[in-house]
Structure 1
Amino acid sequence: MIKYFLKKKFRKDEYGWFGNYSSWQEAATISDGYCKASILEKTKNALLKIKNGEAIYERDSVLFDKKEHPFPLLSCLLRTAWEKGTPLNILDFGGSLGSTYFQIKDFLPADVCVTWCIVEQNHYVECGRDLFENSTLKFFYSIEECLAATKIDLIILSGVIQFLPDPHHFLHRLTSYGFKTILFDRTPFIRDNKDRLTVQKVWPSVYEASYPAWFFHEASFIQHFEHDYCIKGDFKTYVEGESILQINNEPIGYSKGICLVKK
């Protein structure tokens, strides 16, 4: 029993979010990064099982026997479709190989969503186009490439902003596209007066990896949108265990979603 609890504590201390780094480069030098081929391979294999009806639900490359529905996200999509009066063209930035699409597509009939576009890393786009693309699901290398092909009504950014080297530059640029609705989900914030850069060490049950990860000061994050957008609602993440996040094993972080609508 003692060995069990020691092992449990060791594992708890070993994986999660750690540090307070002064630059992305500093954090990156002690991280594997998000471009490892093994991450794509595990994600691809999991989502092929979803696509082929051999499994029910995938999140972060892990298969589950019961699907979790992100109802706040769905509410935002359905509200935007109702206001528009015609089916949505949705952009899922950093959407992997379609994780959210496959998770909620049963709630998105043709009169709600006509196109689900994913912007991802190059190797994800190549894999997505080869194995997953269909009349609804499309893959692009950049937001600009996507917009050249389709007029987007709503952009989803779920669990992705924290992995960008310069997220505030991206958030400033995001407002210039003029999307009607911007929807953040699974975005980490910190109970502090400034952002904090950590290294996330992923549990081996997911995959072997570590990468820099930001926690945001919420007021500074929202400030990018105050001029052009209003907050239609915010909500706790649907993923169990993410409403409170520990940094250096202290519960000072939290994950939430925010729905922004253009004024």
Structure 2
Amino acid sequence: MFKLFPSKHKKIKYGWFGNYTSWEDAAAVACGYDSANILAKTRDALLQVKNGTAVYERDSVIFADKEYPFPLISCLLCSAALLKRPLHILDFGGSLGSTYYQVKDFIDQDSCASWNIVEQEHYVNCGKENFEDDHLKFYFSIEDCLQEKKIDLILLSSSAQYLSAPHQFLEKLAGYPIDFIVFDRTAFHHGEQDRITLQTVPPEIYEASYPSWFFNTDGFLSHFNANYRIICELPPYVNGESVMFIDHQPTGFNKGFYLINQSLHA
């Protein structure tokens, strides 16, 4: 998710636009996230982080200083403390390990037993070839991962809004036997219904556009009312994401949630 600000002098060409009636309508005019150039740029940036020649990557861009997501880190450490053992974490839509490398200074083997990324096929193949080790693993689906190990916590960081059918996915997610769910950097808006927009990425990051949801908060959380308790909201840690502009209007915002399965308190 990218930091974009309105201008009083000219219309910005990049950001979130439109109110599409369907995901398919937005996808028809998009140049998607599965482009090979995006994967290559992300791989090269994260290899620098892995090899220690860069400190921080976000959205395929290298930064000189690392931004630590302390609200997310707190949720991970709290979950490990509640279970009194290291966590098996599933990072859904976790790219090639962006969040993993961002938090690993704080999440050691005493709090994290394994970090498992579920991604698109070409990302998984790249991850297995360039990044996988005894601690960091890559899978094609949640079910593939669950067949190998019991997952304690599922993390979705800036990924739910890029699913074509998010509510079907969220309903399924709520039914997994998972103790903790963390949503981070998720896009919401003040409307009564979800909104489908087209997100256009600044070319200095990479050339792409793709559909992106802005969720109604109550509708988003309704899937978890039966099985989970909301412990807290996670504020955005990236500058410029507390207010998000759709069609140049400040109608969107970014936040997350920390959910605990009610069975832990039965």
TM interval, shorter chain, is: over 0.9
What SS does the aligned partner of 1:106 have?
A: coil
1:71 correspondence with 2:70: yes
Deviation beyond 6 Å, 4+ runs, structure 1:
none
Task: Please give the per-residue CA displacement for 1:213-255, whole angstroms capped at 9, x wherever unaligned.
Answer: 0000001001110111010000211111111000000000000
Amino acid at match of 2:162: F
Moved more, 43-52 or 104-113: 104-113
CA contact (8 A) 2:201 2:208 kept: yes
Q: Which residue of 1 aligns with 2:181?
A: 182
Superposed displacement of residue 106, structure 1: 1.2
Matches within 5 A, 1:219-238: 219-238=218-237
Q: Which residue of 2 aligns with 1:138?
A: 137
What SS does the aligned partner of 2:68 have?
A: coil
Superposed displacement of residue 68, structure 1: 0.5
What SS does the aligned partner of 2:100 have?
A: helix
Q: Which residue of 2 aligns with 1:87?
A: 86
Q: Distance in 2 between matches of 1:97 and 1:9?
A: 38
Matches within 5 A, 1:114-153: 114-153=113-152
TM-score (norm 2): 0.95
Q: Distance in 2 between matches of 1:214 and 1:208?
A: 20
Amino acid at match of 2:177: G
Task: Please give the per-residue CA displacement for 1:117-171, whole angstroms capped at 9, x wherever unaligned.
Answer: 0000000000000000011000000000000011100000000011100000000
Unaligned runs of 5+ in 2: 1-6
Q: For the structure 1 residues 133 and 166, does the alpha-carbon distance in structure 2 shift closer, same or farther, using more than 3 Å as the test?
A: same
CA contact (8 A) 2:187 2:253 kept: yes
Q: Which residue of 1 aligns with 2:196?
A: 197
TM-score (norm 1): 0.96
Superposed displacement of residue 8, structure 1: 8.7
What SS does the aligned partner of 2:220 have?
A: helix
Unaligned runs of 5+ in 1: 1-6
Q: Distance in 1 between matches of 2:70 and 2:246?
A: 27
Identity score, percent: 54
What SS does the aligned partner of 1:219 have?
A: helix
Q: Which residue of 1 aligns with 2:256?
A: 257
Superposed displacement of residue 23, structure 1: 0.5
Q: Which residue of 1 aligns with 2:100?
A: 101
RMSD between aligned residues: 1.1
Amino acid at match of 1:193: E
Q: Distance in 2 between matches of 1:194 and 1:45?
A: 39
Q: Distance in 2 between matches of 1:174 and 1:235?
A: 19
Q: Which residue of 2 aligns with 1:39?
A: 38
What SS does the aligned partner of 2:12 have?
A: helix
Superposed displacement of residue 94, structure 1: 0.2
Amino acid at match of 1:55: A
